[in-house]
Amino acid sequence: MTQSKPTPYADINSLLTELLAGMQAILGTKLVALYLYGSLVTGDFDHEVSDIDLLAATAFDINDDEFAVLQTMHHDFAARHGAWDDRIEVAYLSVAALKMFRTQVSKIAVISPGEPLHFKEAGKDWLMNWYVVRENGVVLFGPSTHELIEPITKDELLQAVREHVIAWREWVQRAGSRKVQAYAILTACRALYTLSNGESVS
């Protein structure tokens, strides 16, 4: 079921409708669900700097032909909406991969700030994302988040946060720009809050 007003912002809702239509035109029935998460649903969304975070669940992995057309779609979308260029983050992942992310690594197609649409591998390292999607995600299309993502315990979340912080030690040392440094600080603060309070925060 598609929500016509998933956020309090009319312009954002229009962008989401356009993105969903573009995905459906390319993927057809292969697109099982589209979920909105991130600051638009957890709070502290800032029109000037915040990203739009989406999970597109697909019946099967994205193939090379679909990847090429999706790449063009995202490029054209950014050209039409310059203010949102480099501020759209979409992960395309199969339903099977969402079910098995704890035990297997799967192919995921991702577009995110600073990175064009690309393939990478995703497994348990994405647990924090899927936790937020399952618990707070807004359904833009398809079934409930609980139907596609198995329950994730608080202990699993806390362990994932600890591992994430440890992995970031080396990455933070290479953070050059002020924007990346600010993001690193915010990420560390969010991690500290989660480890102290047992809840994710915007």
Give the burial class of 186: count Cβ atoms within 10 A of its Cβ; 0-12 exposed, 13-18 middle, 19 or more buried: exposed
We find that the CATH architecture of domain 10-150 is 2-Layer Sandwich (3.30)
The amino acid at 10? A
Q: What ranges make up the beta strands (E) of 49-191?
A: 52-58, 88-94, 106-112, 115-122, 138-141
Name every residue whose Cβ is closer than 8 Å to that of residue 136 and which is 6 or more positions away in sequence.
37, 41, 42, 200
Identify the pLDDT of residue 3: 63
Per the structure block, which two tokens stand in for 104? 């297997």
Query: Strand, helix or coil at 148?
Result: helix
Identify the pLDDT of residue 176: 66
- Residue in 140, 143, 153, 198 with CA at minimum distance from that of residue 24: 140
Identify the pLDDT of residue 114: 84
Could you tell me the CA-to-CA distances from 129 to 31, 76, 77, 78 in Å, in that order? 19, 27, 24, 24
Query: Strand, helix or coil at 61?
Result: coil
Residue-by-residue pLDDT tens, the chain, 202 positions: 456 689 999 999 999 999 999 999 999 999 999 999 999 998 889 999 899 999 999 999 999 999 999 999 999 999 999 999 999 999 999 999 999 999 999 999 999 988 999 999 999 999 989 999 999 999 999 999 999 999 999 899 888 878 777 776 666 666 667 776 777 777 777 777 777 877 776 6
- Give the domain ranges of the chain: 10-150, 153-202
The whole-angstrom separation of Cα 183 and Cα 189 is 10
Identify the pLDDT of residue 45: 92
142: left (phi over 0), alpha (psi -120 to 50) or beta: left
